[in-house]
Amino acid sequence: MLRSSSLPSALMNFVAHPELVPPAAAQRMVSSYGRATAYEATSLAMRSSRLTGAEAITVPVTVAWGERDRLVRPALLPAPLARSLVLTDCGHVPMWDAPDLVADVLLEGSSRSV
């Protein structure tokens, strides 16, 4: 079990502002990543694969990326109804870094029409 004082540094790859993550959630996140036996394989697959079939998307799609994400990099979706956003000062889990911004993106995206 990690000491609570070591949690912020353990979260730096996942969130831009680890101090905003409640200690119990931080402990679960770090513990889950630590027990994930397929983490390396999943990370490699995620980084080496590309989205295919985007031209067939017929509904509005928003993909948001954290500006400070250390795990994946932003990509443009080659689909006419798709948009990519970079969330300023957010990491891989922007819901902890900027919950209000994420809520705004979800609400705006869900209100877009075809």
> Which residues span the domain enclosing 72?
4-111
- CATH (domain of 104): 3.40.50.1820
The C-alpha atoms of residue 104 and residue 27 are separated, in whole angstroms, by 27
- Could you tell me the pTM of the whole model? 0.76
Helix, strand, coil percentages (3-state) for the chain, rounded to 5, are 45, 10, 45
pLDDT digits (tens, 9 = 90+) for 8-24: 677 887 899 999 998 88
Number of domain units in the chain: 1
Whole-number pLDDT of residue 3: 52
pLDDT digits (tens, 9 = 90+) for 59-103: 898 999 999 998 887 777 888 888 889 999 999 999 999 999 999
Q: Are 57 and 81 in contact (CB under 8 A)?
A: yes
